[in-house]
Structure 1
Amino acid sequence: MKWMAKSMRGTAKNQLSLFYTLFGSFIVIIVLLVSINMLAYNFFSNTIKKEVILNSSLNLNSTASNYEKHIKLVRSFMLGYLFDSDTEILKSDSPMHRYDVVIRVQKTLQHNLSNTQLFLDNIIYYFRDDDFIIERDGTRNADTMFSKFYTHSTYTADFWSKEMNGDESFHIYPAAPFSSATAFRQEPLGNFMPILVKGAFDHEFAFIALLDGSKIYAAFHQPKPDSSFFIVDRNQQIIFSSDKFVLPPAALEKKGTGYSKIKDHYYFYQTGMETGYTYFEVVSDKGLTQQLHRLNLTIGTLLIISLLIGLSVSYWFSKRFHNPLANMIRSIQPLNNVSVPISKSSRIREFNLLHNTLSDLSRSKDEYQQDLQAKNNLLQQLSYMMRLKKIHGSGELLPAPIDTDGPYRLVLSQIEFKERFAAEIANAPQRAFNMYKELISAHFSSVYTNSLTFQLEKDQILSILFVKDKSTKEKPDDLDGLVQLLDKDIPYCNFTIAMSPIRHRSADFAETYQNVLDLIKQRRLGEDIQVIEEWTPQPSLMIPSPAEEQELTANLQSGCDEITIPLVNRLLEELENAGALAQQFQDFSKDVVNRTIKIMYAQNISFNNLAGGRSPYDLLKSCYTLQQYKDFFQSFLSKSAAAIQAKKSEADIITKFVTEYVEAHYGEDLSLDMIAGKIGITGSYLSTYYKEKTGTNFSDYVLSVRMRKATEMLRETDLKIQEIAALVGYYTVASFNRVFKRHTGVTPGEFRRHHQWKK
């Protein structure tokens, strides 16, 4: 034994210290990494310019997208103004006769223009025939407006008068520096892009919106050094430029997406899908060279800093690692009464001593480590989700080990109980849900031996299928068997089954779960079992349109179910034709119910009896087909209209007189002041009083009565449309056709043909 101990001491003298070994190893690694980084930098240095160009293209794409979205927002915002009821009142009567409406319009302008996100400096109501302007600060004639308050040599009163003759309903003009001219000085206002908004065939009234070009440019674009930005319309006319740089004719002809180099400048361009405008960013070649130089300097500085940090951390880590290990060795050595033979596989004496002292522990640890590593990743994902969903398991282990690279797929089943279930099945819903969970679990267990099924939400069941066979098809046939098992319960439940493709990485578990959640939302109308395996992007639906929204609200307020029910049915059919999801039908229906309830609350009408004692929202949840939605609204809107009409019949003597007079003289020239004079009150008082008592504007009520009478005549008589127009108080057929179409969505001729076809 003595000779063995002597041999150990002699061998230990030839071994290196752990500190120097670690520090030397770190230095070698650092040198290797620096060498690799230098080689990689040299290899990719030729592609840096392409990356800078790509970055410029992406920056312009983001700018173009922001401009397109904002122009679309401004278009929608201004169309809302164009079809506003106050606008219609001012157009139908001289604005100088309706000063109360003018005051209301100015207050609305001041409120809306305070929204800085619209980047609108002002919105101008322009009545050409009356030579009358309404804007946020007051009213004036056109010549005063454009020669003193918003002056520019191009955009004069004569210019806007001529532009009114065009057929474009939305047109953006080139940006220009506007100023205000006073008696003493001329003060700049800003660089504005004028926008003309009007009816395509209306040449007497228009809106002129002033979009602040400088502010929207600062918000939407991140300019590069020595760069210029331009917006060019479809006619190759520049409508905005960030500076005085001149675009060459060759660049103006560019369309689509890309870039080109002309002389010493790069021209990046992007054509918007919404407007057809082309957005340009011009970057000088000198600017790109400066960027590359700065990039080289930055990379060199970072490399030196990384090298210094790496050496410092290596030294610190080596010391921190060596000191406690040396103390541990010193504490172990007194316990070794017998010299331990040293393996010649390592020259580090500390590692050789620990190898012999802790070999048994290391061997056991390695065995457990191999087993735990194979299961850890996916189990962590599953455990996290179960904690997130507050699911308490049974405490049992999974039936088989989980390979981190093993294939798996998720199947999410959503069960929705129908009214017939509550009426005919005695079991509680949770007991029935547990039965379905066991049924699904048994089915998948018969196909996948390692499947796991558990309840995730109150109406959702998640199945994790561990696929052992690498050749398993992406779309297995085992779902057909599950569908057959559930098919007989369709009268009682709606089943939606979403299945993910086969995944091979446990790190994708959360993402895969989110994917099947999105697939569940793809359910469409129907009382059936729907199996969804692929996500289909849905187009954004503008149903109802702003005009249809206005029409629906007006008829709900007046209790005219003869119009509201066909209108809602038509909107439901539009949703079905557009391929809307079941959730989109629910959202639309809830919106209609909310509107109706708000109107009834405003008129102090109780809605508790509208749905037979049940909440209308609960009844909506029981609608699974288009016909069921139509039946619901047939009942709901009929009852709400009857309640509103009954409430109106209880009105006081003033509203009763107004209602009876309009019903009797709807074909005559009805005005608020004329009817107020018959009662002995002012028109403004009657307008406020009638709105308070009925929840409806006087003009809206007159319009609804005339349209109701017109629809009755179109359905039940053979009178000519010109005769019907005169009978309901319209002097020209054109104005009658315009109002009728805005109110019902179709022309009088189309309305008559549709109802004749039904007969």
Structure 2
Amino acid sequence: MTRLLSTANHQMSLFYTLLGSFIAIILLLVSIHSFAYTFFRHNLKNEIILNSSLNLDATAANYEKHIKLIRSFMLGYLFDNDTEILRRGNPMNRYNVVVNVQKELGHKLNNTLLYVNNIIYYFPDDDFVIERDGTRTAETMFSKFYASPAYGAEFWDREMESDASFKIYPAATFSSDTAFERHPLGLFLPILVKNAFDHRFAFIVLLNGEETYEAFHQSKPDSGFYILGPDREVLFSSSDRFPLPKTIAAKTGVGYVRADDNYYFYRTAPETGFTYFEVVSNAGLAAQIHRLNLIIGALLAISLLIGLAVSYYFSRRFHNPLANMIRSVQSLNAMGGPAGRGSRIKEFNLLHSVLSDLSRSNREYHEDLQAKNTLLQQFAYMTKLKKIHISGTPLQAALNADEPYRFALTQIDFKGRFATEITNTPHRALNTYKELIDAHFSGLYEDSLTFQLEKDQILTILFDKSGSEGAQFEGLDALARLLREDSVYCNFTIAVSPVRHNSADFAETYQNVLDLIKQRRLGEDVQIIAEWRPQPALMIPSPSEENELTANLQSGCDDVTIPLVDQLLDQLAKAGAMARQFQDFAKEIVNKTLKIMYAQNISIHSFTEGGSPYDQLRACHTLEQYKAFFHRFLSRSAAAVQAKRSETDVMTKFVMEYVEANYGSDLSLDAIAGKLGITGPYLSTYFKEKTGTNFSDYILTVRMNKATEMLRETDLKIQEIASLVGYYTVASFNRVFKRFTGITPSEFRRHHNRLKE
């Protein structure tokens, strides 16, 4: 025993010996790492400067190569057969050539590696341009579709007199400023390409400055980039944070200088004469070095901690088996006494230890299974309720076939006051109500189970061993009193099933309480529904009342429509209609009104307030609320109809208003021209000149705007919307809508609904 105890002491010293050896190795590695880092830090700044120089070299080479590519690409266009044909005559008389040119432009500009936004055929003598989206006058092109204060039509007329055949101008921001939209197009570098001796035709290439910068230059934090022309004019700058001093801007060649606490790297390209500058803040370099110091220091500290932890772990792993053996020997020595109090055999004690571990593991697994049993039980009940068939061995719900049970289904509808006064989200509030209902019933019924099935429904399964058949049972009125305290924020509907004795009726009982939930009447209180009442058969409105309502909605007579709708609502209340029937009736009136508004080309934004009318309808829970909603809604719709009838027009306005008023009809250029007493081609040219938009494009825009508005604001079917905007088949409507917006109508509506939620 003395030898064993001395061995135990030796093992303890072995632990510290191993740990000390590991620490010595770690410290050696840290010292090597620190020496390498010290050496590296002295050369870091020079490496960063060299890297910036190489980066600018690569950027200049990329820009020069791309400019050469653009020059070669446009020279091919300049001597193209179609270009020669357009240059020799009036381009407006070469319609087929113009169409070919537009198609070719669309194909070439799809090449994203050119970074060219548009190529413009410019005929100054004819005041005519051709670009990827159509033809138009130069004034319209450079004042509306590609507008920039620096590059108007007068600027390009002056530049046509120059002898330059390829010239790049400073970058400027261009925007689209038409009657229908106004948004920036981007930062473009205009390029003029023409014959040096021909002042009647030129190409204007719009090179995307931001895309080329991102593609050709690897930017760094706290840095700026400039391109200067041969005359030292700034052609492009990535940022205004680092102004370029005149003394620096005058430099040419290759090199860098430090001034104003900044590093200025420059390189002059021999072919174009452009000088490329990169400005790097010295503070930025210092910040990079500081960040690197912090990162490497943190890595050293983490490495040291990990090394110490691993060393301790492995030392313990080496030491523990031997220590356990020593403790076992010490335990055997300490037992003593009669043989029955313990075993002197080491193997028996080892087996006892292993069995103790197994028993402890089994106890832990049992506790874990008990904790998860409730979740599995809820899942099993859900599969029964929903009639879901699971492959393999089905889960068994703990439902005794001979034990009576009943369902209590609680539906919770949140009111608008909840969103404005309660900070909690609806799903968290619903979970709170679930816990409240579970706590209430579990104190009254043994083995009751409460869980959430839908986003607004909580189901409680009660095992009523008394087998009472009454509709009202113990605790139901008390629960109603608890929930009634929150009735200002939520509507509570509790559907109660009769007592059932057979588990085979499980799904049927659930369906029964779902049907009972639909029996809710108007009101903002807690309603308990335990008996099925036949749904009243309603013929409201009658055919004559519906015709009268439609006629007065179309004419904007709210002094007739409002009393008529009030009368119909009173009829529903008198007939004992359910809340769901009131909601269906109200939606039908809203849909009818919206269809009339769209048919008369009236946007619902002009007469609705407080959000979508469908959202306002969902907030109506009493007869008075429905009447108040329709008083507002119908009076504003009538005002919009009457205001629409009072509008006047002139020639172009007549065309626009006729198209917007009849966008669902079969529109044609000749038909509208006939109404004005002019020819179709004249009307097309006149409309294009006045508005800058093709006649067919305008019709398409109006129809698609109306379609997107209906998809956002109404619940009309897509087939109905297609018919309202002039498409006879859903397929053709889907195809045109996707070409206009990039997505299908169904995807557009789903995306809008997700954003609204």
TM-score normalised per structure 2:
0.38
Max Rg structure: 2
